Every structure is written in structure tokens, then in C-alpha cells.
Structure 1
Amino acid sequence: MPPLGPTARRVLGLPDPGDWERKKQRKRAKQGLAPQSAVPQPAVNPWETAAQQLLQQRTAPTAPAPALDTRPAAEHAAPWATVEERSGSAFARRFGRGVLWTLVAAFALLGAKSVLIPKKAPDPVESAAPAQPGPAYPADEAQAVASRYARAYLSWDEATPETRAALLAAVMPDGADTKAGWDGKGKQDVLAVEPGTVTPAAQNQARVRVDVLVRPAGPAAPPKPGAPPAPTLPAHWLGLDVPVVQAGGRVVVTGPPGIVGVPKTGPKAPELAGPEADSAFGEQTAETVTKFFTAYAAGDTEAVTAPGASVPPLPAGVSLVDVASWTADKGSGADRSGTARVRWQIGGAQLEQTYRVELTRVASADAQRWQVAAVHGGTA
């Protein structure tokens, strides 16, 4: 396309090519740039250049549109590097979060419980500290002191009153009356003393039951005028309640005791079922049991007892009358038991007693036999 003349440019309103070049030179001068080479350049009309490019685009074949980048954003280069987190640190972080939230939930529940269910006021009776048990009462010492006192208290002889007073003073408080209610007459002996129950009371006091066997030396009461003398009472038991107190590290009698009755009979015993008898075994071992009790009274039990058994012989003055009965218990094995009723001659009289006998089977090279392993008095 030929360049436009001056008339065409004025008609179209286009600037002169030289004006355009001069504007470029002035702009470079203002920016402090060196002016372009003075070599004459062909004048370029920007409007003509734009018209030529537009004509080329209309005549040229249409170029395909640039393909869009369909790669995911993760494939594009990122300005940072991704580091994979280790499983241990991830578990520790999750565990820490779990513990923290558990504590938060627990405190929340406790707070809600204190609001919804207020704490019950403690019962003054339940909150009181349990009472500490005090030391046990010295029962053995109380029995010993009461027994000594009972023996001295119920023993008297008008010929030697000082003997009784000295014995009482040893177990009574200092300065106490050692006559202890005795009028100084008569005579009585104490044959046996048996201490019994100790019943503690207030202020370190106690009551001790003592059974005493006494034998009066004279009549129970003075004879009436004109009447025959009363017979002398035989030895008999009587009960005594002795008051004692613990003071100064000792137990002493606090005052006169009281005589109480003694039961004439014991309580009714329960009916006890005995073992079932084995008559055949009883007949088989009857001679063994008779030989044992004969040697038992004679003082030589070694030959009739099993090896290793220890059965001390009876004391002198006891001899066997007979074995009244022997009943073997039903059972089996090498160890058997039974009950024997034996009559002894002792003190000029016959006395029947009961024994529990334990037998064991002893075997030798050519035979076996039953021998006594132990013997106990009574049926228990």
C-alpha cells in the first residue's frame, strides 16, 4: 500500500510522520536518555502499521486457540515444599487433645454434680471419732487377790486371831479393818479355793466370784439351853463375791465380801449322739484293750503301746478290777478308736471310769497286730 500524501493525512486527521518522531525525541530528552542516531530512519506511520496488521489478520487463516492448562493446581509449582508428617507426632498430638478434652469434660461434670446434688452435711454422730478401747481389766491379778482374800477371810481360829489379820492386810488397802466383820470366836478351815468370773464395774472396780470349800471345826450354831449339841457340818462349798479395785498399779479388796449360794446341780446336758459301733472289730481287739489297762495300772505300758506312743503309767495305789465294756467305733484304715469302761480298785473302793482309746495297726515281717496309740479320760 503506497504511503498517504499530506492531503490524505489532513483529510483523515492523521499526524505527520515527522511530528511523531519529534515527539519521541522530546520525550527521551525529558527522561535524560541519549537521543537516537541521527541516521535518517524511514518515517513510520503507526496508523498505517495498524491498518496493515488488521488487513493481514483478515486475510490469514484462523489459528487454533491456545490450549488451556487443565493441570490441577496441585501440579503447579508451589513456592514452598511439602513435608510429610510422621505418625508418632500425629498420634501424640491427637492423644494430647483427647486428654485435654477428657479433663475439661470431667471438671464440667463435677461442677454440674455439685450444683445439682449438693454435698450432704456430715452427721455429727457419724463424724465423731470412734472411742479407743481402754486397757482390759487385769482379770488374772483380780482372781489371784480375791482368792487369797477368800482363803484368809473364811479361815479363823479364836486361839490365833493375828494369823487371819496378817493374811487379810496383805490384800487390803493400808489402814483397813483387818477383822473384816469377824467377832473373834470359833474355828473353821478352808480346804480349796476356785476363782471364777471377773465382772468389771465403774471407776476401775470389779466383782470376783470365788468358790470356797470349807470345813467347820465345831457346830454350826451354839447349843440352846437344855438342848443336845448341834452336829458339826461336813465340808461344803460356798460362794463369795469379792469387791476389788485397781489403784496404784495393784488390785486390792475394797471392803467386806458377800456369801452367795452355790448351785446344787449343773444345767441339763444336751443329748449327744455317740459313734456307730463296729461289733466285729470290737471282739477282735477286746483282748488288746484288756492287756493295755492291766499294764497301765501295773506301771509298764511300753510293751502294749505302739512304737512312738507315749502313755505314762498310773500312780501307785491303783489296780485293775476289770474292763467292764469295750465298744469299737465303726470305721476303716490303720487307725481306729473306741470307748472303754474300766473299774479300778483305789482307796479301799471300786471306781468305774470311762476312756477313749486310739488303736493303730502295727505290721512286722510275719504278722500284724493292733496296739494302743493313745488313751484319754472321758468320752469327748
Structure 2
Amino acid sequence: MPRLGPTARRVLGLPDPGDWERRKQRKLGKQGQAAPAAVPQQAVNPWETAAQQLLEQRTAPTPVAPLPGTRPAEPAPTAPWATVEERSGSAFARRLGRGVLWTLVAAFALLGAKSVLIPKKAPDPVQSAAPAKTAPAYPADEARVTASRFARAYLAWDEKDPAARAAGLAAVLPEGADATMGWDGKGNQDVLAVEASTVTPAAQQQARVRVDVLVRPTTPATPPKPGTAPAPVLPAHWLGLEVPVVQASGRVIVTGPPGIVGVPTTGPKAPELAAPEADSAFGEQTTETITQFFTAYAAGDTETVTAPGTVVPPLPAGVSLVEVASWTADKGTGPDRTGTARVTWQMGGAQLEQTYRVELTRVASADAQRWQVAAVHGGTA
């Protein structure tokens, strides 16, 4: 059995064998008996000491019976433990070990109480969820530019200069593609305007781009038949073109021939928009201000009729004011007000009525207050 040293016994709180011996000596001293001989220092294990005593008893000579009338001698008591001198370092280690043990117990108790009194919050599923990876957006702007360049080259041709059309198409077609793109090399047609609009992405980095093109043929639409009068030349008109494109090697190119589609003749039905409530009294009060502004607007000098810091670019030459057909102020309060003006202009030998949204602001001077224009925008929005 391994022997425990004094330091280990004190850390674990076990009694010291020397304590047994001292208690025994104090007890014998009170009874008037002599103190037993000291146990050698090396016999510190009580079990070894007991075994040694048992061996000595077995090997000792048989005691002689006492004479009649005499009291048998009492055997001298032996101490079961060896005396070990306690050192100051051992006592300090024992106290330190107990202090560390109680500190750990207190710490675990506090952690357990915290988990009960302050439960851990469940993670927010929205914040804890990993952000979803989104595919990069299709380069719609580049697709519109490519489709517009293609449409301008594709629908403009001159039978006397076919290379010009081929060069324009080659810049936006794949390498080695047919630059004639189905043209038979006859006729003449000009492209006046190109407007790209909707981009519809498809699979494998492809897309379809809607382009509206204003064309003006310079030859009849169909060649004349023998013995008949030539067909008239069509005027300039819009036509739709849907162009297939694909993104490849960091660019957007046209993948093949497009398709001509129709152009809507009317727009969809407009939603019913609520008109702002009118303030007739304020409208009458500011009618002269609005008339002065549009007169100066047509003349190209609005500095005297606009609020300080407001800059309104003048109208182009050839536009003159016919009348301010109506002015309706919106309901409201405060130093900033808004209203709608309907104005008739004279231009190009004709009269044209238009609509404006006008913002007014109240300007105060030392002796008076007046309303002046702070901004003007075309349309009713």
C-alpha cells in the first residue's frame, strides 16, 4: 500500500499520525503513567507499526506467572502512530488546497445559478442564417447597347455599299459569323432612331432584347412587275426587333438572326389617378404671378419672377406664349405651395397646349411679401 506523505494528508483533511501519539501521551499524563518511548521517525504508517507490534508479541518469551499475592505488571502501552513534526510549508499547502477547492465549488455554483436566472437567448433564425448566395445580375445595360448597335446595322442597307453593313454587324457578332445576316444585297433603307427597352434573361447567359427602330425606306417595298407602275415608297415608320444575345468572355454579343415583331398602336388603359384638392382662393390670388412667369419664360428672362437662388433655363427660340389657359392651386398651407398650369404655346406655325406643375414660395422683404416661382416641371406627376 503506498504511503501518504504529510502534505497529501493535510490537503485531503486526514488526521496526522502524530496527533494520535500526542493525544495518547496527554491521556497517560493525566492518569499518572509514564510516557511511552518515542516511535522511530521512519514508522509513520499505523498499519506497519501494528504489524511490527504483533510480530514482537509472537516472538517474545512466555511471561512467568506472578507470585501469589502480587499484582501482575501491566504492559507498557505503545503508540500506534509515529510522530512527524509539522512544518509551516505543509500547513500553508493544506490551507491553499482547501481555499482553491472551495473557490471552484463557489464558481460552479454561481454559473449554475446564472443559467437558471438568466437563460441563454435563442439565436435569431434570421440573423444566424447564412446569407444566400445570389447569382450576378444580367448585364442588361450592355445587352441594350449591343442590341441597339446590331439593330442599326441590321436594318440599314445600301446596295451600292454592302461592306458598311457587314462591318457594323461584325463588331457585335461572334468571330467567323456570317456578316451578311440573310440580306440579298439589294435595296436602300435608312435607320433614323433606335430605342432598346426590355431585356429578358434566359438560360446559359442568354437574353432577348426588345428594340424599337424608326426606319425610312428610300426604294419601293417591292420591286415593280413588268408593265406595272412602281410601288410607292413607304414613309418613315417604327418597327420592333427582338435580338438574341449571350454573355461570353466578359462581353455581350448577338448569337444569331433577330425577329421582326409588331409595335403596339395604343398603350394600356391608364389607372384612375386622384386629382389633388383645389384651393380656389389661393389660385385666384396667384394667377397674375403665374402669368408673369410664363411670359418671362418664353422671353428667356425669368430672374425677376423666380425666388432667390432659383435657376430656370430659357425656352428655345421660336416659342411664344399664347395664353395661360388655366391655373389650379393645390390645397395646402405654409410658405411653399404647388399647383397645375395649362399653357398654350405658338411654335412651328401651330398652337400647342401643354401642362406644368409649378412650385411657389413666399418671399418676404422689408416692406412686403409676395409669391414667386421656385420650380417648374412639365407634366402632371
TM-score range, shorter chain: 0.5 to 0.7
Confirm or deny that 1:304 pairs with 2:327: no
Q: Tell me the CA shift for residue 226 of structure 1.
A: 4.5
2:205 corresponds to which letter in structure 1?
Answer: N
Structure 1 residues 103 and 314, CA gap change in structure 2 (3 angstroms): closer
Q: Which residue pairs with 1:324 in the alignment?
A: 325
Q: Tell me the CA shift for residue 203 of structure 1.
A: 2.2
Q: Which residue pairs with 2:285 in the alignment?
A: 284
Q: Which residue pairs with 2:295 in the alignment?
A: 294
Distance in structure 2 (CA, Å) of the matches to 1:100 and 1:292: 83
Q: Which has the larger radius of gyration?
A: 1
1:260 corresponds to which letter in structure 2?
Answer: V
Distance in structure 1 (CA, Å) of the matches to 2:277 and 2:102: 78
Distance in structure 1 (CA, Å) of the matches to 2:344 and 2:202: 49
Structure 1 residues 92 and 274, CA gap change in structure 2 (3 angstroms): farther
1:239 corresponds to which letter in structure 2?
Answer: G
SS at match of 2:152: helix
Distance in structure 1 (CA, Å) of the matches to 2:111 and 2:283: 81
**Runs of 4 or more above 6 Å deviation:** 90-95, 101-106
After superposition, residues 1-380 of structure 1 pair within 5 angstroms as: 97=105, 100=108, 132-380=133-381
Q: Tell me the CA shift for residue 158 of structure 1.
A: 0.9
1:194 corresponds to which letter in structure 2?
Answer: E
Q: Tell me the CA shift for residue 191 of structure 1.
A: 0.8
Structure 1 residues 320 and 130, CA gap change in structure 2 (3 angstroms): closer
2:277 corresponds to which letter in structure 1?
Answer: E
Deviations 1:254-300 (A, max 9, x none): 11111111111111111111111111111111111011011101110
Q: Which residue pairs with 1:68 in the alignment?
A: none
Q: Tell me the CA shift for residue 242 of structure 1.
A: 0.9
Deviations 1:111-135 (A, max 9, x none): xxxxxxxxxxxxxxxxxx9873332
Deviations 1:170-218 (A, max 9, x none): 1111221111111111111111111112222222222111111111112
Structure 1 residues 280 and 202, CA gap change in structure 2 (3 angstroms): same
Contiguous gaps of at least 5 residues in structure 2: 1-97, 115-129
Bigger mean CA offset, 340-349 vs 223-232: 223-232
Q: Tell me the CA shift for residue 100 of structure 1.
A: 4.5
1:134 corresponds to which letter in structure 2?
Answer: A
Contiguous gaps of at least 5 residues in structure 1: 1-89, 107-128
Structure 1 residues 236 and 97, CA gap change in structure 2 (3 angstroms): same
Q: Tell me the CA shift for residue 250 of structure 1.
A: 1.7
Distance in structure 1 (CA, Å) of the matches to 2:131 and 2:297: 59
Distance in structure 2 (CA, Å) of the matches to 1:318 and 1:175: 53
Distance in structure 1 (CA, Å) of the matches to 2:111 and 2:279: 77
Deviations 1:206-238 (A, max 9, x none): 211111111111222223444443332222111
Structure 1 residues 271 and 131, CA gap change in structure 2 (3 angstroms): closer
Structure 1 residues 92 and 355, CA gap change in structure 2 (3 angstroms): farther
TM-score normalised according to structure 2 size? 0.66
Q: Tell me the CA shift for residue 99 of structure 1.
A: 5.7
- Aligned residues: percent identity? 78
Q: Tell me the CA shift for residue 97 of structure 1.
A: 4.3
TM-score normalised according to structure 1 size? 0.66
1:200 corresponds to which letter in structure 2?
Answer: P
Bigger mean CA offset, 244-253 vs 174-183: 244-253
Q: Tell me the CA shift for residue 98 of structure 1.
A: 6.4
Q: Tell me the CA shift for residue 101 of structure 1.
A: 6.6
Structure 1 residues 91 and 357, CA gap change in structure 2 (3 angstroms): farther
2:209 corresponds to which letter in structure 1?
Answer: V
SS at match of 1:132: coil
Distance in structure 2 (CA, Å) of the matches to 1:283 and 1:131: 59
Structure 1 residues 101 and 292, CA gap change in structure 2 (3 angstroms): closer
Q: Tell me the CA shift for residue 377 of structure 1.
A: 0.3
Distance in structure 1 (CA, Å) of the matches to 2:110 and 2:271: 68
Structure 1 residues 131 and 289, CA gap change in structure 2 (3 angstroms): closer
Distance in structure 1 (CA, Å) of the matches to 2:112 and 2:323: 93
SS at match of 2:317: coil
